[in-house]
Amino acid sequence: MSDLNTRIKEVIIESLELEDITPADIVDSAPIFGKNAAGEGLGLDSIDALELGIAIKENFGVTFSTVKEETKKHFASVNALADYISANSKG
Amino acid sequence: MKQMAGKIFFTAISVLYPVIVYCGYRYWGLSPRRLSLMLLALAFYHFLNFTRSKSQVERGRTGIFVVLVLVCALVAFFADNILFVKFYPVLVNLSLLSFFGFTLWKPPSFAFRMASLHDKSLEKSPSFKAVERYCRNVTVGWCIFFIVNGSIATFTVFVGSDKIWSLYNGLISYILIGLIFMVEYLVRKMVQSKMQSYVPVCDLELDSRPNGALVSFDAGADAANVGGAVAGNRTWGDFVSDVSKVRYYLEARENTPWILHCEDSYFFTVALIAMLQSGRKALVTANRQEAFIKEIKKPEYGFLTDEPFAGDDSATMIQDVLAGTASGECVEEKCAPLKFGKFDKSKAEMVMYTSGTTGEPKAVYKLFLQFENELFELVKVFGNDWVNRKVYSTVNHHHIYGLLFTALLPIATGLPFRRHRIDFPTELANIAGETAVIASSPAFLKRLSAETDKAIGFKCPPIIYSSGGPLPEDVARKASELTGYWPMEIYGSTETGGIAYRQSKNGPVWKPFEVCKMCLAENGCLNIKSSYILEADGFTTGDLADLYDDGRFLLKGRSDSIVKIEEKRISLPEVENRLKQTGLVQDVRVVPMVGKRQYLAAAIVLNDAGREKFAGAPKLAVNNFFHDYLLKFIENTVSPKKWRYLEELPQNTEGKIRMRDIQALFGLAESPNFKILKFRREPGVLTAKILFPATSDYFDGHFPEFKLLPAVVQVDMVLRLARNFLDVPKDLSKMNRTRFANPILPDVPVMVKISYDADAGKVTFAFTSVDGETSFSNGSMIMQTSVATVAGAGENRE
């Protein structure tokens, strides 16, 4: 597990004040919003999405496209988010 | 005068008619033709009556009668036939029958018209309906008599001899009429003893009841028999003299208003009536916590109570006032004459406090007029069921329902009431021999049905009322199996008084009291206008309802049980019911929370199946199970985001589960280091059962081979709990002596009790074993209180 992935998970948990969950509980490839067929995923809702978007911006200095579909793709999983951040991070 | 004389003369002729005819015909040798002249005279007299009668119907009726009498007279005259002379009594019967019968068809019945001429107040009495029904029966009785009597009279005309005709119509039928009057009088006396002898509270006077009438009694263990009389008993004579003593006391003082709290219902009623009659506003409070009294009491206020009050030496003990030992008491001679009598109900003021189910206790201003109007309505609907019963209570008379049912109603109707509450369901067995009215509540009936298996065996089934919250149907059924009476539920609130009633065996629909006019407010909540609500546009409750055309309604939950989470409406009971549907949940409360965003949080008590299913599972897995289940029915946004699993939900002292207690639980972030298993929050006191799992970080580093909870963690825990649940200020100012007696081990639940004295800023704590046998640690600390925090410290108090 890369450090970036762990950092992202920590940001998710902190910014959304998630309870009963540790970075280890989050599957890198599982969806952040809703769940996949295997029942994996964080099950976050659309309100969480706004909050998380802001938190990612603040923590990693990346911005997201205003095109909804694009953004959705970046938030598909922790892995997807990590890829996007590594590609776009200014630091 | 002339008219009067004529009336008497013709009435005498009419009454003596059979005798005159008989004597005239038999002994005085008068021919039927001559006798018919008397009939003609009577016809003329009735004709005069006809010309004077006012109503169309009355004219028609007397008109027909006159014609019939005239026809008989003419036939008798021309045919010179005695038969037609003898017809008069039959015609009189017919006439009376038509008259009485007509009033049955067009009420009020004749007997009722007579009764209301006699007693002008009848139409304003709550037993109006019962009297009306009775009078109707009496009128029907008379009609039957006229039919029978008329038939016999006809029979004697044709069959019997002249002597028999004369004897029956001139004597026997009169005797029968007299007998009927007598029987009716006796029956009426009997019925009256079964009707409520209601006197409005504001109209009570010295002689409203006999001096020896029982007002209040005490079946407590300490009620000893003294000289044949039970020590706790109080009669009307005692009541009047006690009220008078309190009045002299009150009226000798400037203080007003008076705070009133008496545990003894008799003392309470005496004090309240005295305040009302003396024109002193009464603040009726169930809560006599020092902090609360301090909050509401201003220097000019009086405080009358029946139990010593530590917080305030200006409190007056009512026992001292009655015994004449209160400071500045009324000396015997100054206490005469007795002060007791009517007061103006539209000027007498009171303040009640709500029980604070949904928020802080709220003061509600009342005019006594409101209570008086409600009493009238209650007597009208329930009064006849109460006759000759004794009143018992399991509820507090400082709240509106208890006040009405266990203090004011007994005083207004003359029913004796017990001075002390029934606290335990087992006590009901002691009153099984009595004919009782029991004012109770869902909390008590729930305990009764849970704790009792065998029917109580009441000699006469008691009448049980339940108010204060909905009574579950299964509890009502069990109560009816145990007592023989299906509890009558009253729906109402401090602000509105009683609104409607139901017995759930007849369905869940509520029938409003006649004076309550219902409609739905814009938000779907029930709005009530009634003679005991002062606001002209009525009072809108927080209860959602379906309203039917006939005014009856169905309650559908509280409107504050519908919340908006990020613009989405969701009903809290719906989420709770869905969770219960899993079959794994014994009890659950879902509460709205506001943090960075709005969300729902659920506190769940698992049932046996649930505990079995989730044994050993990580909490996250349990959360996910319920979350996934809910998503089949509701949107993700309104599904609970945070979860707590407790052994039981926190109840306050009144047995109610309060939203703010559950919300407070979520105010403390969940930590893998400790688990709250259950808790209870009372004013200034928190008790909680806590588990520190072996995996907790708290045990790290000390003695790896012998894990125990470090002292610093215990103190920190106390502070966190105290800040979260008791609104204790953040900063610690001083640590007092603290004892650590025994080690707290991992995975063993412990109890912690934390008290906070806001005035002293002192937090006291004790960790013990769950059974209370072992003390782990205890101590106290002083918090840094600023002036502002002291002022706000009452916030948590109930």
Q: Which residues contact B280 (CB under 8 A, 6 or more apart)?
A: B250, B255, B256, B257, B258, B302
| B92 pLDDT more than 50 | yes
> B566-650 is classed in which CATH architecture?
2-Layer Sandwich (3.30)
Choose, out of B566, B593, B597, B599, the residue to mutate when testing the contact with A (most A CBs < 10 Å): B597
Residues of A in contact with B628 (CB under 8 A): 35, 39, 43
Domain A3-88 has CATH 1.10.1200.10: yes
pLDDT band with cut points at 50, 70 and 90 for residue B219: low
More confident residue, B309 or B781: B781
- The reply to whether A35 touches chain B by the CB within 8 Å rule is yes
What pLDDT band is residue A90 in, cutting at 50, 70 and 90?
Answer: low
List the single residue in A with minimal CA-CA distance to B565: A47
Q: What CATH topology corresponds to B668-798?
A: Thiol Ester Dehydrase; Chain A (3.10.129)
**Which residue type is seen at B386?**
W
Residues from chain B that touch A21, judged by Cβ atoms under 8 A, are 620
When scoring A20, A33, A36 by the number of chain B Cβ atoms within 10 A, the one with the most, hence best to mutate, is A20
User: In the predicted model, what is the mean pLDDT of residues B521-539?
Assistant: 86
Tens-digit pLDDT profile for residues B536-553: 888 988 888 889 988 899
- pLDDT of B278 reads 94
3-state helix, strand, coil in chain B (%, to 5): 45, 20, 35
pLDDT value at residue B118: 73
Query: Quick one: pLDDT at residue B654?
Result: 66
List of chain B residues whose C-beta atoms are within 8 Å of the C-beta of residue A40? none
| Digit-coded pLDDT (tens) for B42-91 | 888 888 888 887 788 788 888 888 898 889 888 888 888 888 888 889 99
- Is the per-residue pLDDT at B746 higher than 80? yes
- CA torsion angle for B526, B529, B534, B536 (degrees, to 10)? 100
CA separation for the pair B291, B289 (Å, rounded): 5
Split at pLDDT 50, 70, 90, the class of B194 is: low
In chain A, where are the structural domains located?
A: 3-88
Give the per-residue pLDDT at B312. 65
**A9, A11, A19: best to mutate for the B interface, most B CBs within 10 A:** A19
C-alpha dist (Å) from residue B793 to B477, B582, B783: 44, 41, 13
What confidence score (pLDDT) does residue B351 get?
94
Q: Do B778 and B766 form a contact (C-beta atoms < 8 A)?
A: yes
Q: What is the pTM of this model?
A: 0.64
Lowest-pLDDT range of A67-71, B2-6, B272-276, B486-490: A67-71
Write the DSSP string, B586-599.
Answer: EEEEEEEEESSSEE
pLDDT band at B195; cut points 50, 70, 90: low
> B744 vs B294, which has greater pLDDT?
B744
pLDDT in tens, B295-316: 888 888 999 999 888 766 678 8
What values do phi and psi take at B622, rounded to 5?
A: -65, -45
Can you give the pLDDT at residue B223?
A: 45
Among A21, A25, A43, whose Cβ lies nearest the Cβ of B636?
A43
A47 near B CB under 8 A: yes
Interface contact A14, partner B, CB < 8 A: no
Q: Which residue has the higher pLDDT, B158 or B270?
A: B270
At B652-665, the pLDDT tens digits run 766 778 888 999 99
Q: Answer whether A21 touches B (CB < 8 Å).
A: yes
Interface of chain B toward chain A, CB-CB under 8 angstroms: 566, 595-597, 618-620, 623-624, 627-628, 631, 635-637, 642-643, 669-670
Q: Looking at the complex, does the CB of residue A43 fall below 8 Å from at least one CB of chain B?
A: yes
Q: Confidence band (pLDDT; 50, 70, 90) for B643? A: very high
Of A19, A45, A48, the CB nearest to B642: A19
B597 to chain A: which residues are within 8 Å by CB? 47-48, 51
> What pLDDT sits at residue B1?
65
Q: Check B624 against A43: CB less than 8 A apart.
A: yes
pLDDT band at B640 (very low <50, low <70, confident <90, very high): very high
Q: Is the pLDDT of residue B606 over 90?
A: yes
Instruction: Look at residue B796 in the predicted model and tell me its pLDDT.
Output: 38
- d(CA B753, CA B91) in angstroms, rounded, equals 92
> What is residue B31's three-state secondary structure?
coil
* Best residue in B624, B625, B642 for a mutation probing chain A (most A CBs within 10 Å): B624
Q: Where are the alpha helices (DSSP H) in B614-745?
A: 619-630, 659-667, 711-726
Q: What is the pLDDT of residues B30-43, one digit of tens each?
A: 888 888 888 888 88
Beta-carbon neighbour count of residue B66 at 10 Å? Answer: 22
Task: Tell me if chain B has a CB within 8 Å of the CB of A20.
Answer: yes
Q: What is the ipTM of this complex?
A: 0.90
For an interface test with A, give the residue of B594, B596, B626, B638 to mutate (most A CBs within 10 A): B596
Cα of B651 to nearest chain A Cα, Å? 25
CB contact under 8 A, A17 and B619: no
By Cβ distance, the residue of A20, A34, A44 closest to B623 is A20
Domain ranges of chain B: 2-193, 566-650, 668-798
Q: How far is B725 from chain A (nearest CA, A)?
A: 20
| Average pLDDT of chain B to the nearest whole number | 86
Q: What is the CA radius of gyration of chain B?
A: 37
d(CA B663, CA B642): 11
Task: Report residue B714's pLDDT band, with 50, 70 and 90 as the boundaries.
Answer: very high
CB contact under 8 A, A46 and B623: no
CB atoms B619 and A20 under 8 Å:
yes
Predicted pLDDT at B786: 61
Higher pLDDT among residues B580 and B118, named by residue: B580
Lowest mean pLDDT among A25-34, B113-122, B273-282, B392-401: B113-122
The amino acid occupying position B484 is G
**pLDDT of residue B220 exceeding 70:** no
Cα–Cα separations (whole angstroms), residue B32 to B25, B83, B168:
7, 9, 20
Q: What confidence tier does B336 reach under pLDDT thresholds 50, 70, 90? A: confident
Residue appearing with tokens 């018919």: B36
Q: Is the pLDDT of residue B227 over 50?
A: no
Q: How many CB atoms lie within 10 A of CB A89?
A: 11
